[in-house]
Amino acid sequence: MRLVVAVGAIVCALAAPRIAHACQCDSSAPLMVGPPNDTIVPPTPTFYVFTPNPLHDGTQFVHDIYVKNVATSRPNNTIRTKQLVIDADYIVFEVESDASEGVIELHMLYGDDVVYRYPISTHEVHNRVRPLALSLQRKTDCYTSDEKAVTITLDGNAAAYALEWDDGTKTMLPAIPEWNGASHYIHIGARCGSSNVDLERLHREHLVTLRALFANGTSRVVSTAKLQLGLDDVRAPVELLDTNESFADTSQSWSRPDRTLVIHSTANPTGASIAGGAAAGAGVFVGAALLRARRRRHRNRL
């Protein structure tokens, strides 16, 4: 069974919220599949395919999704594909395979034939997820925008994540591997002139639930938290992360606009830190975090 992603089905997708920016960066989202290529998966696995939304600077359509079950005398190429969401960055598909042995080749036409390979495990694959760090960016878009973002680093074998909102909608988030392959992270909010969540939604406080999705088709709630990334008021999703630390007001720490606030859990006793520029990215991947921040900007009144 093959899935053909028709152009007409995509035209109704919402365009990405745009943010004026001056820096040079690639605002288009990359094609991503969870779990990552070469991951050992359980029998009859589930994959999450994040196909770039053409209305958000996507340059190509994903025309076809299918599997080849190889390295087995009993190949099973049957799949069931379901579209989960259409959001600013991605059109997300859930692909369930009936293959129970050998190797799965997950194919899709994205300009050329793109192939991901997954050996099927002969042993039980244990699901696990553990938050490691939270980073709150005060400024985004080369520090030219007041729109904000949260990055959460996690350990485990989650294939993808769903951020479930209190109005019944959800935002699908790819598990982006770290450069060292030891962990992965998810990004919520502004990025390079756009946002993977509608900015008006981010500016208001919401109750959100972070759910980890695994390759065996099951899911697990990480936690539920309040989230608000406003221009003035910020409430980082503190309850998503396991820690005994709390920070009530970080306005003094944010004296420089190019700094990112990173805080660590009791599992890593280094405490809070402030990072700037390239160091901010490195500082994200250290320990679990808990943060509540509320900032008021001073306005000149006529």
Local confidence pLDDT in tens for the 302 residues of the chain:
554 443 333 333 333 444 444 455 666 788 999 999 999 999 999 999 999 887 765 556 787 899 999 999 999 999 999 999 988 889 999 999 999 999 999 999 888 889 999 999 998 889 999 888 888 887 676 666 788 889 998 999 999 999 999 999 999 999 999 877 778 999 999 887 778 899 999 999 999 999 999 999 999 999 899 999 988 888 888 777 764 443 333 333 333 334 455 544 434 333 333 343 333 332 332 222 333 333 333 333 34
Supply 78's token pair: 């049957």
247 C-beta neighbours (distance < 10 Å), count: 16
pTM: 0.76
| Residue 236 pLDDT | 82
Q: Half-sphere exposure (CA, 13 Å, Cβ side) for 176?
A: 14
Dist. CA 127–CA 117, nearest whole Å: 20
Give the architecture-level CATH label for domain 3-17+29-119. Sandwich (2.60)
Cα 15 off chain centre by: 18
d(CA 119, CA 124): 13
In whole angstroms, what is the distance from residue 226 CA to residue 234 CA? Answer: 10
Tell me what pLDDT residue 56 has: 61
Contacts of 8 (CB under 8 A, 6+ apart): none
User: 268 is written with which tokens?
Assistant: 């890593």
145: which 2 tokens? 């925008």
Q: CB burial class (10 A; 0-12, 13-18, 19+) of residue 46?
A: buried
Quote the pLDDT of residue 185: 94
Going by C-beta distance under 8 Å and a sequence separation of 6 or more, which residues neighbour residue 251?
293, 294, 295, 296
Q: How many helices (H) and strands (E) does the chain have?
A: 2, 20
